[in-house]
Structure 1
Amino acid sequence: MKIKNLLLTFAVICIALVTGCENDDFEEVVGVCPVIESTTPLSNALNVPLGQVITATFNEEMDPSSITSTSFIVTGTSPIAGTITYSGKTASFTPQTLLAENTTYTAKITTKAKDVNGNFLQLEYVWVFSTGAILRPVVTAVDPINNAIAVPLNQTISATFNMAMNPATLNSTTFKVMQGVTTVTGTISYTGSTVSFVPASPLLTNKLYTVTITTGAKNTLDTAMTTDYTWSFTTDSIPTVTSTDPMNNAIDVALNQTVTADFSAIMDAATITGTTFTLKQGTTTVPGTVSYSGSTASFKPTTSLVLGKVYTATITNGAKSASGTPLANDYVWNFTTMLVAPAPIIVNLGTAAMFGAFGGNAGITNQGLNTVINNGSLGTTAASTLVTGFHDGLIVYTETPLNKGNVTGDIFTAPPAPGTATSLAIAQKGLLDANAAYLSISPAAKPGGSDPNAGELGGLTLAPGVYKSASGTFKISNGNLTLDAQGDPNATWIFQTASGLTVGIAGPTGAKSVIMINGGLPKNVFWYVGSAATINSAGGGTMVGTIIAKSGVTFSTAGNASQTVLNGRAISLVASVTMVNTTVNVP
């Protein structure tokens, strides 16, 4: 038995000496064979970070001199370089450069690694892992946008990323603004996910700028953009005044002139005000209303200009384009008003002057008990049956208990009775004269009319003259219209609209009026209306002047009790005239 045990022990010692394998009974002789207990990354790991430090941890202390590039090897498509260190029981491999995306790597600890007792690793230890695609920073928005035009000269240039960035990587090297080959200097800041560039001085006008953010810009994990990001924009041109009305040094300018200036660019309407657009006569500031439409600024004097005076108009550099660029300098021009007042305008109504209302060939209708034609007659070339709700001193024309209108003059119609051939002839002559008067106040016969407020006459005070709607319609809805005769009893106003005329707005307080001051007379006010006129459909209000409309005139609306007044005449050349509780005072 003793001989057998001795032989067995000798065999075990021989095996241990040859293999170095662990044997608790003989540890003091041969030591412990090293093994790898864990790795980073784990074997078959996916989506490993590109900056991963690769480690292997042993079960015992190793001889650091054996942990080298020949015992710790990492291979991708080829062996990669790195720094190898050893601490505790862990060997570490730090790649010299970031690992490649979407790549499989093999790490290996060879049998050249040994423990402090000289025992070598018995078998090579091999594990694999794979990197993934990383989320790289991307520019998601820029200001100004690419290919933007008319960019303000004080523009802050910015770019927004899809993730948080490392502010230290956003600097004048990675964020570059160029105008041609010239580098633009400025201050760079970063907030949230947006980097901003504020130029040190205003950008140049009408120039192309190019902005580049390079791949040196990195996120908080030091991951760079894939490629440089570049975009361009063009700065705004300095706006200029291209024309004025009146022109500089103009003479014989009308006393009711609206002063205008056209710009080379669309302007910021908020900067076109009574402060930036002024008119002076000497040192005296002329009061007026400033407006802006399209690319035109307008100054409408509150009262008429004075004969034979030099006026100075100024638009300051406080006026800015829509993108915020101001005029380079104040723009100043002068003009002189006419020396002699224009000859009075004379409109000959002929026999049409006798009519308070004329219904063309379609008749006249009254609804209500309080309609009256003072100092005038009614007329139509239509049959007498188309005059309803009226009576004159002798004859009743289809009145009802609720519709009675009094005509202090006469009523002239075609037959049947009470219409006669004689009354028809008078009506026909009246219509001919009305047509002639209509043509005499048309834009063709009286050209040069101005539009003081884009078709809206409400709230204005107008001097005598010719006014023509640029849009084809006139309305009085923003307030009353005041006509200032300036002490001239012959002061005449002609209003021309190719389409409609509307006075007043809806609602119980919607009535609007025409007010005459300083000697103005209703007989000298004329309205040329290309289609129909509607006067205070809500009832009430006072209208002034002779209305000659192509296609009808309507006063108030059925059911309104408020009295509507016309100091003038309502003449329709084709369609009917309709009145509801209307007083017509024929001048």
Structure 2
Amino acid sequence: MKIKNLLSASAIAMVVLFTSCSDDENTQSSPAPVPTVALTSPLTSDTNVARNKVVSVNFSVQMDASSINTTTFTLKQAGTPVLGTVSYSGTTAKFVPITVLAANTLYTATVTTGVKSAEGIAIRANKQWDFTTTATVAAGLKAVSLGSAGNYVILAKTTITNVPTSVITGDLGLSPAATSYITGFSLTDFTGYAKAAQVTGKVFAADMVSPTSTNLTTAVENMITAYNDAAGRPSPNFLELGTGNIGGKTLTPGLYKWTSAVTVPSNITISGSADDVWIFQISGDLAMSAATRVILQGGAKASNIFWQVAGQATFGSTSHFEGIILSKTGVTFRTGASFYGRALAQTAVILDGNTVVQPQ
């Protein structure tokens, strides 16, 4: 009987010891995974790739954003580096070329072992892949039709106010508000229009004799149609870029969408050809800081750049902006700001010693 009890005690001890060891093993933390490139865009050996393509990489895990830059993520053509900007968000890194890629050309993208996961673990080997661009300029976005709203450098519904002295090239239009809501210009009336020393062009308002009132009604209707067209374009190429802060970025052709405000705290570059189109859908305000600039590159034209802004569009003192502004709420140019484009507002346009020039 004693021997049997001793054996039972030994068995229990062994079970306890085994269970304890198992628990110790289970509580040990698993090693962090080695990151891998899960997907690339374009894919390896892709052909007919759009010449404004943003090259992107999806990683298997969260990465250390500081390790992903123009040294560790590159694009080359025949060994020559392509200039561009690199960004990282979520598990995706993007390389945005500064200029449109050459037609029918082989490019090589590389992600080096310099990229690391959030735990500091590098990918095991360089990831390199090739793709070839399309032989022709691919059909891109269709420009937004302005209709007769495109006859005006400034078009508003409620008021156009100005702190002298501004220099404006192009016609001004206001409707359904009357001439008295155009202030700061010292207007001289003519039949169906007015003139001002600050305006190289004519000034029109809804209370002027026919056909001015009819023309303005049509232009405002066309402005609203253009706004709705720009706001309704589907399938954006870029969604929430920079979480709304686009300072310092190079913007290639395509459709951009933000569900909140957009800020421009430093210079931005819009890069593409004369045939390319940009549409920026902004659900909140657009705010540009003082002394910052929009710079066009590669032949990009202000007449093909459309800023659809649901909120206020405000441009800081001595800033310079380019493109067609389609604003639902209003446009304000601070002291000394310059603008090359058209300001089309469903409420007011406010000026303060500005230079405004309609695009060619």
Q: Same fold (TM over 0.5)?
A: yes
CA gap of 1:443–1:277, structure 2 versus 1, over 3 A, is farther
CA deviations on 1:426-480 (whole Å, 9 max, x unpaired) are 22111111122223333526x44336655444334444x224044544332222x
2:323 matched to 1:550? no
- Cα offset, 1:489, TM superposition: 4.0
- Give identity over the alignment, percent: 33
SS at match of 2:137: coil
State the alpha-carbon separation in 1 of the partners of residues 256 and 308 from structure 2. 9
2:192 matched to 1:411? no
**CA contact under 8 A between 1:393 and 1:410: conserved in structure 2?**
no
CA gap of 1:251–1:471, structure 2 versus 1, over 3 A, is farther
CA deviations on 1:245-296 (whole Å, 9 max, x unpaired) are 2233333322222211122221112221223212222322222222222222
CA gap of 1:326–1:299, structure 2 versus 1, over 3 A, is same
Structure 2: gaps (5+ residues): 1-20, 191-195
Letter in 1 for 2:149: A
- Cα offset, 1:341, TM superposition: 0.7
State the alpha-carbon separation in 1 of the partners of residues 322 and 226 from structure 2. 17
SS at match of 1:545: strand
Q: What residue is the counterpart of 1:388 in the other structure?
A: 183
CA gap of 1:475–1:335, structure 2 versus 1, over 3 A, is farther
1:374 equivalent among 169, 172, 188: 169
Q: What residue is the counterpart of 1:259 in the other structure?
A: 55
1:529 equivalent among 286, 305, 309: 309
Greater relative contact order, per chain length (Cα 8 Å cut-off, separation 6+): 2
Structure 1: gaps (5+ residues): 1-179, 182-207, 212-230, 396-403, 505-509
Q: What residue is the counterpart of 2:357 in the other structure?
A: 585
Q: What residue is the counterpart of 1:424 in the other structure?
A: 213
State the alpha-carbon separation in 1 of the partners of residues 146 and 164 from structure 2. 30
**CA contact under 8 A between 2:98 and 2:271: conserved in structure 1?**
no
State the alpha-carbon separation in 1 of the partners of residues 63 and 327 from structure 2. 38
1:564 equivalent among 314, 337, 341: 337
State the alpha-carbon separation in 2 of the partners of residues 541 and 390 from structure 1. 22
Q: Report the number of matched residues.
A: 332
Q: What residue is the counterpart of 1:433 in the other structure?
A: 222
**CA contact under 8 A between 1:316 and 1:329: conserved in structure 2?**
yes
2:109 matched to 1:313? yes
Q: What residue is the counterpart of 1:501 in the other structure?
A: 286
CA gap of 1:478–1:209, structure 2 versus 1, over 3 A, is farther
State the alpha-carbon separation in 2 of the partners of residues 518 and 330 from structure 1. 32
**CA contact under 8 A between 1:503 and 1:534: conserved in structure 2?**
yes
State the alpha-carbon separation in 1 of the partners of residues 36 and 354 from structure 2. 52
State the alpha-carbon separation in 1 of the partners of residues 297 and 59 from structure 2. 36
State the alpha-carbon separation in 2 of the partners of residues 489 and 443 from structure 1. 24
Q: What residue is the counterpart of 1:349 in the other structure?
A: 146
CA deviations on 1:11-58 (whole Å, 9 max, x unpaired) are xxxxxxxxxxxxxxxxxxxxxxxxxxxxxxxxxxxxxxxxxxxxxxxx
CA gap of 1:478–1:583, structure 2 versus 1, over 3 A, is closer
Letter in 1 for 2:306: F
SS at match of 2:88: strand
User: Which residues in structure 2 correspond to 1:145-294 (within 5 Å)?
Assistant: 210=25, 232-294=28-90
TM-score, scaled relative to structure 2: 0.81
State the alpha-carbon separation in 1 of the partners of residues 225 and 306 from structure 2. 13
SS at match of 2:120: coil
User: Which residues in structure 2 correspond to 1:59-74 (within 5 Å)?
Assistant: none
State the alpha-carbon separation in 2 of the partners of residues 470 and 242 from structure 1. 27
CA gap of 1:278–1:358, structure 2 versus 1, over 3 A, is same
CA gap of 1:248–1:473, structure 2 versus 1, over 3 A, is farther
State the alpha-carbon separation in 1 of the partners of residues 293 and 247 from structure 2. 9
User: Which residues in structure 2 correspond to 1:477-496 (within 5 Å)?
Assistant: 477-479=265-267, 481-485=268-272, 488-496=273-281
Q: In proportion to residue count, which structure has more helix?
A: 2
State the alpha-carbon separation in 1 of the partners of residues 83 and 187 from structure 2. 50
- Cα offset, 1:209, TM superposition: 7.3
SS at match of 1:439: helix
SS at match of 1:478: coil
SS at match of 2:219: helix
CA gap of 1:409–1:265, structure 2 versus 1, over 3 A, is same
CA gap of 1:248–1:550, structure 2 versus 1, over 3 A, is farther
2:237 matched to 1:449? yes
State the alpha-carbon separation in 2 of the partners of residues 394 and 412 from structure 1. 10
**CA contact under 8 A between 2:285 and 2:310: conserved in structure 1?**
yes
State the alpha-carbon separation in 1 of the partners of residues 188 and 132 from structure 2. 56
SS at match of 2:130: strand
CA gap of 1:406–1:529, structure 2 versus 1, over 3 A, is same
Letter in 2 for 1:514: V
Letter in 1 for 2:279: I
State the alpha-carbon separation in 2 of the partners of residues 394 and 457 from structure 1. 43
- Cα offset, 1:342, TM superposition: 2.9
Q: What residue is the counterpart of 1:468 in the other structure?
A: 256
State the alpha-carbon separation in 2 of the partners of residues 288 and 519 from structure 1. 17
CA gap of 1:496–1:246, structure 2 versus 1, over 3 A, is farther
- Cα offset, 1:585, TM superposition: 1.0
Q: What residue is the counterpart of 1:512 in the other structure?
A: 292
**CA contact under 8 A between 1:359 and 1:571: conserved in structure 2?**
yes
State the alpha-carbon separation in 2 of the partners of residues 290 and 431 from structure 1. 41
State the alpha-carbon separation in 2 of the partners of residues 567 and 312 from structure 1. 37
- Cα offset, 1:340, TM superposition: 0.6
CA gap of 1:455–1:254, structure 2 versus 1, over 3 A, is farther
Moved more, 431-440 or 466-475: 466-475
**CA contact under 8 A between 2:325 and 2:342: conserved in structure 1?**
yes
* RMSD, aligned CA: 2.8
- Cα offset, 1:393, TM superposition: 4.2
State the alpha-carbon separation in 1 of the partners of residues 187 and 24 from structure 2. 81
CA deviations on 1:201-223 (whole Å, 9 max, x unpaired) are xxxxxxx9749xxxxxxxxxxxx
